[in-house]
Amino acid sequence: MPSRAHLIRSACIGLGLALATLCAAPSRAQDGVKAEHRGEAPAVAIAAELTGQPGGSRLTLVLSKAIEARAFVMERPDRAVIDLPEVNFQLDAETGRRRDGLVQSFRYGLFAPGRSRIVIDLAAPATVGRIETATRPRDGAVVLTIPLQRVDRDAFRKAAAVSDPAPAQARAPAAEPSDQRPLIVVDAGHGGTDPGAIAAGGVFEKDIVFGFAQDLADKLRAAGRYRVQMTRDRDVFVPLGERVRIARDAKADLFVSIHADSISAAPQVRGATIYTGSEKATDAESAKLAERENRADAAAGADTAEAPPDIADILQELTLRETRGFSAGFARNLMKQLSPVIEMSVKPHREAGFKVLRSPDVPSVLVELGYLSSKRDLEMLQNPEWRAGVTGSMAKAIDLFFAGRATLGRPASGTRRAAAIAPVSP
């Protein structure tokens, strides 16, 4: 006969499943995806368990309904990737940090519209066995079991070589806008299967910067002087190269990427830093940060190893130099506006080889708002009043940037359409 504790646990799980299912619609609405556009609500994941087994490990998900899963492995670093239809993950923040046997950690989230992904960091070479689903009689929940089996390096390399991730969808060419106001692209870093830095309390960088980016975009739109586009409008993964392409295809006049780093070994370090693109980093710390941020695609199980756009002739070289000059000018302006309202780092303006700053014709900056490893910075980043003050100062810096462009005789919109290109020191 089942114990009283077992009966209580079963009842709680069933109740959690029902509540999670009922809560799915508000969560989806917050993500900006309408259920009617998909035909039916996505499955809800309410629990995940990682266990060891002979020669491997097993990841088990508890879902509201059955779904199909597809798995493949990737090398450098070693990962197992599980592609799923869209799933509403209702898991606690500590779930992905668990480790057991072959699993160092795992991440999950929306990878693309209608597609979710689980990325498992492997402690040793392993392949994914037969993924199975079973319905629990006691509450109707569906249990999805993902087995991992240890293999040698040669076998893993062969498995990784034949993996065939779904190709990216072709993009239609962007139409020439009739609205000639300057276009600002606001990039909320990370997202979906890429959480970014994680604070001690389980707060994700992707959530902090998305809220800030939304506030900045809203403030710019409210002014009426700009068109504004975000690289992501919900918690979804966007490859680094795609973020650059979004800005270039739209003929953006300014690209602002928002981040909030973490240095667990130095919680006393705090303050904001503004980065512009360069092949040579200002210092070793900047180089390490850029290297870490540039691994975002790999962390999400989407190696897109793309080189920066080719600079084929002297005209393009001059365009790149002018763009970097504009980027540096905006960074200095931004630093002046932010200094009165935000704690700045020791070196508030630095350069490094960030992939998202590689556009040759869109002035681009990356703003590290602070450090999630700093208790004080984390408090400020979550404070609505602080955020309002900082976004207001950033909007003022953007106003001054375009006012300066007009003073210099540059077009108010369309950096790439500038008729005269003069060399500017990068």
How many Å apart are CA 12 and CA 407, to the nearest integer? 66
pTM for this entry: 0.76
User: Whole-angstrom Cα distance, residue 156 to residue 125?
Assistant: 6
H helical segments located in 31-96: 35-38
Closest CA to 352 of 394, 311, 310, 292: 292
Please say if the pLDDT value at position 112 is more than 80.
Answer: yes
Give the per-residue pLDDT at 128: 95
| Of 13 and 249, more confident | 249
Sheet containing 79-85: which strands, arranged edge to edge? 70-74, 79-85, 115-122, 103-112
pLDDT of residue 337: 97
Which uninterrupted H or E stretch holds 291? helix 284-293
pLDDT at 268: 79
With vertex at residue 373, the alpha carbon angle to CA 367 and CA 374, rounded to the nearest 5 degrees, is: 85
pLDDT, tens only, 312-341: 556 667 777 889 999 999 999 999 999 999
> Nearest CA to 62 among 134, 2, 127?
134
Residue 92 or residue 51, greater confidence: 51
For residue 136 the two structure tokens come to 């629990």
241-254 average pLDDT score:
95
| pLDDT > 80? residue 228 | yes
* Residues facing 83 on adjacent strands: 70, 117
Dump pLDDT digits (tens) for 275-314. 999 989 999 999 999 999 998 888 777 765 544 454 455 6
What gap in Å lies between CA 233 and CA 211, rounded to an integer?
10
pLDDT number for residue 406: 63
Q: How far apart are CA 280 and CA 287, in angstroms?
A: 8
- Can you give the residue ranges of every domain in the chain? 7-162, 183-417
Sign of dihedral through CA atoms 25, 33, 367, 218? Answer: negative
User: What is the residue whose two structure tokens read 């998900």?
Assistant: 61
* pLDDT per position as a tens digit, 60-82: 999 999 999 999 999 888 999 99
Q: What is the pLDDT of residue 232?
A: 96
CA distance 22 to 46: 12
Q: Is the pLDDT of residue 125 over 90?
A: yes
Tokens of 36: 């009617």
- Residue 109 is predicted with a pLDDT of 92
pLDDT at residue 423, as a whole number = 30
Q: What is the pLDDT of residues 138-186, one digit of tens each?
A: 989 999 999 999 999 999 999 988 765 554 444 555 556 688 899 999 9
Angstrom CA distances, 139 to 2, 33, 324, 409, stand at 15, 28, 59, 69
In the block, which residue shows the tokens 């693309």? Answer: 112
pLDDT of residue 300: 77
Let me know: does 389 contact 330? Beta carbons within 8 Å: no
CATH of range 7-162; options 3.40.50.970, 3.90.1300.10, 1.10.3720.10, 2.60.40.3500? 2.60.40.3500
How would you class 279 by CB atoms within 10 Å of its CB: exposed for 0-12, middle for 13-18, buried for 19 or more?
Answer: exposed
- Does the domain at residues 183-417 carry the CATH identifier 3.40.50.261? no
* Residue 228 bridge partners (DSSP): 184
pLDDT recorded at residue 368: 96
Q: Which residue has the higher pLDDT, 269 or 398?
A: 398
Q: What length is written for the chain?
A: 426
Question: In this prediction, what percent of the chain has a pLDDT beyond 90?
Answer: 61
Residue keyed to tokens 């020439």 = 176
Check whether 361 has a pLDDT greater than 70: yes
